[in-house]
């Protein structure tokens, strides 16, 4: 089974220059890999650094130490030191991400928000919209909302737009940051189905799921993030 | 996607006497990329933009631009005529104040058509048809084509300025606070329009703004400037979500939440 992503000895801290340069270590010695066709789950209490790990893997947070090796474009690239341009290419081709909250853009319809990642990968706009419609229907988003910008949608509706946007592409690696947090039971089941389909398509998934039932249904492996807690420092 | 950048800037500095305009700025810009330059007033971002667009000559440093034939040319070694030709054809410059980029006393259609004539188009019907097409792309009704921009609102003027700049199919567009001074609702419309045009046309753009929300929406990459120097650069969302330089942290923490 290929391992498209290997994390070794990654550390992250925040230096708060506005607070006299105090250093807040978040996580250290993070090492793991994820496998194609599996869903790996990051476990641990809030504040343990789960989201920070996902954000580093997406290039959204800088990495202090260590390597994040990604299989991209038939080669291996260290995402921790990659140039912004390379990170953008990796996001376009290799790593997809479903964030916790949808960042809305004024005046862009829900349908186009979902279709956009496919269009960016060079797909024809109408074909991309067709796939977007199918996904939004599967996620039970009322059709009358599709043409509206999602800014005024409820939390659960925005979440579903966000999920559709993340699942529409065929990225070989998919990061999921609490995709089911504000969903009802019916839509949680849809997300479980979508994840199962990704696994069947040999996608490597890495996610955070606080919902016990969802986690039990999708997880092949759980990584306990508390093992990566940085050494305690004097307060 | 090409493997060569469109613009290669190396150690660019501009001094006004002993005062620093911008100091030792280096970066590369690829086709299709939007780079935001942020910082407060006086940080040197407009000086940098003016140097890059050759409206101002730097004190030292180089900037290579890849011409349509694939050859890199050093901007500051070109003749005045060559630079003007680039400005008219391959580049656009969107000013904060539309009056600086428009001819206020000729019609909207002529403002757009003039740039086409500058690249050699002489066919009146075709120029007018293209002007109409571009006015509609920037959401200006066709029946306003013969009106002067003086009769337009601020938001309409700005959209007209954008049409005037993009009509020749430039490969690089400079924007200086393109949404400054507009109402937020007008700003949102303009941002959405710009975002769409930049994506559809595959433009490279350098956008100077002090508004981090504008930068987040429009750009993939960001440079933060303070006192003429670049204090931080990287992916836009990385710089905004995990700011590292003290000054960037101050900027990001000063955003008002709504």
Helix axes B108-118, B80-89, angle to 10 degrees: 130
CA angle A187-A57-A216, nearest 5°?
35
pLDDT value, residue B185: 76
Name the residue in chain B with its Cα closest to that of A20: B246
- Measured between alpha carbons, how far is B130 from A34 in angstroms, rounded to an integer? 53
Count of other CB atoms within 10 angstroms of residue A101: 13
Note the CATH number of domain A1-94+177-183+206-235.
3.40.50.300
User: Quick count: other Cβ atoms within 10 Å of Cβ B205?
Assistant: 25
Contacts of residue A190, Cβ cutoff 8 Å, sequence gap at least 6: A138, A139, A140
Distance between CA atoms of A219 and A196, rounded to whole angstroms?
A: 10
Question: Which residue of chain A has the CA closest to B185?
Answer: A106
Res B199: pLDDT:
80
Write down the pLDDT at residue A232.
44
For A104, nearest residue in chain B (alpha carbons): B217
List CB contacts (< 8 A) between A15 and chain B: 244
pLDDT digits (tens, 9 = 90+) for A46-97: 889 999 999 999 999 999 999 999 999 999 999 999 999 999 999 999 999 9
**B189 chain-A contacts, CB cut-off 8 A:** 106-107
Q: Which residues of B touch A (CB under 8 A)?
A: 30, 33, 188-189, 191-192, 195, 217, 220-221, 234-235, 237-238, 241-242, 244-246, 249-250, 253
Q: Which of B234, B242, B253 sits opposite A84 (nearest CB)?
A: B234
Split chain B (258 residues) into runs of 10 and give each run's mean pLDDT.
Answer: 85 95 96 93 93 95 95 94 90 93 93 88 89 90 93 92 91 92 78 82 91 91 96 96 95 79
* Distance of alpha carbon A215 from alpha carbon A209, whole angstroms: 6
- In three-state secondary structure terms, B144 is helix
CA distance A169 to A94: 10
- Cβ of A15 within 8 Å of Cβ of B245? The answer is no
Closest in A15, A61, A106 to B238, CB measured = A61
pLDDT digits (tens, 9 = 90+) for A84-143: 999 999 999 999 999 888 887 778 899 999 999 999 888 999 999 999 999 999 999 999
d(CA B40, CA B247): 10
Residue B201's pLDDT is 84
What ipTM goes with this model?
Answer: 0.90
* Contact call for B217 and A60, based on CB within 8 A: no
Residue among A17, A87, A106 whose CB faces B191 most closely: A106
A contact test, residue of B226, B235, B241 with most A CBs within 10 A: B235
Contact between chains at A61 and B250 (C-beta distance less than 8 A): no
In the prediction, which pLDDT does B258 show?
58
Chain A contacts of B202, Cβ < 8 Å?
Answer: none
Spatial separation of the C-alpha atoms in residues A164 and A141, rounded to whole Å: 10
Helix axes B154-166, B184-201, angle to 10 degrees: 10
Instruction: Calculate how close chain B gets to A107, using CA atoms only, in Å.
Output: 7
Q: Domain map of chain A by residue range?
A: 1-94+177-183+206-235
**Nearest residue in chain A measured CA to CA from B252:** A18
Question: Sign (positive/negative) of CA torsion A137, A139, A141, A142?
Answer: positive
The whole-angstrom separation of Cα B219 and Cα B205 is 9
pLDDT score of A233: 43
Chain B residues in contact with A17 (beta carbon < 8 A): 245-246, 249-250
Q: How many degrees, rounded to 5, is the angle at CA A208 between CA A52 and CA B258?
A: 60
Angle between helix B124-137 and helix B108-118 axes, rounded to 10 deg? 120
Q: What is the reported pLDDT for B3?
A: 79
Looking at beta carbons, which residues of chain B come within 8 Å of A18? Answer: 246, 249-250, 253
Q: Which residues neighbour B74 within 8 Å (Cβ) at sequence distance 6 or greater?
A: B62, B63, B64
B151: closest CA of chain A, how far (Å):
26
Please name the residue of chain B whose CA is at the shortest distance from the CA of residue A81.
B234
Tell me how crowded residue A142 is: count the other CB atoms within 10 A of its CB.
9
Q: Which of B192, B234, B242 sits opposite A108 (nearest CB)?
A: B192
pLDDT tops 50 at residue A234: no
Q: What is the rounded distance in angstroms from the CA atom of residue B169 to the CA atom of residue B67?
A: 14
Q: Which residue of A has its CA nearest to B248?
A: A17
CB-CB neighbors (< 8 A) of A85 in chain B = 30, 33, 221
Of the listed ranges A4-8, A150-154, A231-235, B114-118, the one predicted with least confidence: A231-235
For B179, other C-beta atoms within 10 Å of its C-beta total 25
CA distance A119 to chain B (A): 10
Query: How many residue pairs bridge chain A and chain B with CB atoms within 8 Å of each other?
Result: 50
């Amino acid at each position: 089974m290929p391992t498209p992503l290997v994390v070794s000895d990654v550390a992250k801290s925040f230096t708060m220059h506005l607070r006299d340069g105090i250093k807040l270590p978040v996580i250290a010695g993070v090492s793991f890999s994820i496998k194609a066709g599996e869903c790996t789950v990051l476990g641990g209490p809030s504040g343990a650094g789960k989201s920070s790990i996902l954000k580093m893997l997406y290039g959204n947070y800088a990495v202090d130490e260590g390597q994040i090796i990604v299989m991209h474009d038939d080669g291996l690239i260290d995402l921790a030191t990659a140039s912004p341009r390379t990170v953008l290419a990796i996001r376009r081709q290799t790593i997809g991400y479903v964030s916790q909250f949808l960042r809305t853009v004024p005046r862009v319809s829900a349908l186009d928000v979902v279709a956009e990642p496919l269009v960016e990968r060079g797909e024809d706009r109408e074909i991309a919209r067709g796939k977007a419609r199918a996904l939004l229907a599967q996620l039970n988003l009322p059709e009358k909302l599709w043409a509206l910008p999602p800014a005024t949608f409820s939390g659960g509706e925005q979440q579903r737009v966000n999920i559709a946007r993340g699942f529409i592409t065929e990225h070989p690696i998919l990061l999921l940051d609490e995709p089911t947090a504000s969903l009802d039971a019916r839509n949680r089941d849809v997300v479980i189905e979508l994840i199962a389909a990704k696994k069947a398509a040999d996608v490597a998934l890495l996610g955070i799921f606080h919902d016990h039932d969802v986690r039990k249904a999708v997880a092949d492996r759980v990584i306990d993030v508390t093992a990566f807690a940085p050494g305690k420092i004097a307060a | 996607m090409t493997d060569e950048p469109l613009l290669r800037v190396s150690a660019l500095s501009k001094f006004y006497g002993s005062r620093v305009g911008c100091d030792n700025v280096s970066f590369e810009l690829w086709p299709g990329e939007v780079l935001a330059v942020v910082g407060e007033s006086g940080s040197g971002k407009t000086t940098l933009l003016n140097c890059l667009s050759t409206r101002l000559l730097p004190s030292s440093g180089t900037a290579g631009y890849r011409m349509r034939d694939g050859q890199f040319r050093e901007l500051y070694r070109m003749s005045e005529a060559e630079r003007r030709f680039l400005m008219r054809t391959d580049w656009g410059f969107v000013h904060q104040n539309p009056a600086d980029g428009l001819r206020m006393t000729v019609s909207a259609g002529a403002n757009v058509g003039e740039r086409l004539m500058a690249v050699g188009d002489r066919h009146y019907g075709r120029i007018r048809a293209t002007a109409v097409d571009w006015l509609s792309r920037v959401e200006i009704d066709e029946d306003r084509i013969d009106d002067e921009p003086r009769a337009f609102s601020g938001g309409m003027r700005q959209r007209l300025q954008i049409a005037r700049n993009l009509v020749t199919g430039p490969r690089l567009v400079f924007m200086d606070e393109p949404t400054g001074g507009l109402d937020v609702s007008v700003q949102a419309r303009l941002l959405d329009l710009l975002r769409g045009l930049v994506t559809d046309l595959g433009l490279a753009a350098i956008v100077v703004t002090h508004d981090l929300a504008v930068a987040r929406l429009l750009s993939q990459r960001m440079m933060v400037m303070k006192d003429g120097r670049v204090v931080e650069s990287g992916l836009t969302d990385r710089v905004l979500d995990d700011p590292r330089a003290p000054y960037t942290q101050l900027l990001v923490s000063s955003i008002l939440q709504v």
